[in-house]
Chain A
Amino acid sequence: KAGVTQTPRYLIKTRGQQVTLSCSPISGHRSVSWYQQTPGQGLQFLFEYFSETQRNKGNFPGRFSGRQFSNSRSEMNVSTLELGDSALYLCASSSSPTVPTYEQYFGPGTRLTVT
């Protein structure tokens, strides 16, 4: 089974621009979560989507948004980029939140650098 894929792997943007990151979950998985990882703040939860609906949202400003498509692929968008948005963005795939052994499988991440 193919793992979680994230595109692009590396991205350089300038302040004020917007960016879209993509995540394809493991085949058959319907839940996708997004995390931001920085040296100072560690891993922070952004949001989770299941069956095209946002189920949970972390404490991030409205500039951060996401969506999930009917094939479970997910995108996240960051508008009006700030220097502090430079981070590794990780996507995690899961089968279903209702499964007791629910666990997450992570993609390799997208390294975003904002200059």
Chain B
Amino acid sequence: AQSVTQLDSHVSVSEGTPVLLRCNYSSSYSPSLFWYVQHPNKGLQLLLKYTSAATLVKGINGFEAEFKKSETSFHLTKPSAHMSDAAEYFCVVRINTGNQFYFGTGTSLTVIP
């Protein structure tokens, strides 16, 4: 069975401090992993993806994520939070033998000025 767990439903950080959004996955097969961001009343925007190349993936807006197979994790980080980062973040897994995407329940990021 495949699934993805976002460990925190809500994260608050101060502007200028690091961001860590945690994601664990379970998969019987080699996965592709994605992070998406959703601003209020908007669609989802792809931040970054891992597809079995480099384990450290750089995305847009200064975000990056590291694929750790031994820990089945794909945590999203950013060195310095900006007010515009306040949004909902979704971790997504796609199993490479199929084509269905499995979404986590989302982490709401609040950035405090």
What is the interface of chain A, defined by CB distance below 8 A to chain B? 4, 31, 33, 35, 42-43, 45, 48, 55-56, 88, 90, 92, 97, 100-109, 111
CA distance A48 to B102 in the complex (A): 13
Q: Is the CB of B42 within 8 A of A101?
A: no
What is the interface of chain A mostly: helix, strand, loop, or mixed? Answer: strand
A-B contact pairs, 15 of them (CB 8 A): A4-B43, A42-B103, A42-B105, A43-B106, A90-B44, A92-B44, A92-B101, A100-B32, A101-B32, A101-B51, A104-B101, A106-B44, A108-B42, A109-B42, A109-B43
Known A-B contacts A4-B43, A108-B42, A108-B43; the reply to A102 vs B103 at CB < 8 A is no
Known A-B contacts A43-B90, A107-B43; the reply to A56 vs B96 at CB < 8 A is no
Known A-B contacts A43-B90, A108-B42; the reply to A103 vs B103 at CB < 8 A is no
- Nearest CB on A from B32, distance (A): 7
Apart from the given pairs A56-B100, A109-B42, 16 other A-B contacts in the complex at a CB distance below 8 Å = A4-B43, A31-B99, A35-B103, A42-B103, A42-B105, A43-B103, A45-B103, A48-B99, A48-B100, A90-B43, A90-B44, A100-B52, A100-B96, A103-B34, A103-B49, A107-B43
- Nearest CB on B from A19, distance (A): 19
Q: Is the CB of A105 within 8 A of B99?
A: no
- When A and B form their complex, which 10 residue pairs have the shortest distance between CB atoms, in order from nearest? A97-B99, A106-B43, A106-B44, A43-B103, A108-B43, A101-B51, A42-B105, A109-B43, A107-B43, A56-B100
CA distance A55 to B34 in the complex (A): 21
B46 CB-CB contact with A under 8 Å: yes
B52 contacts across to A, CB distance below 8 A: 100
Residue of A nearest to B99 (CB): A97
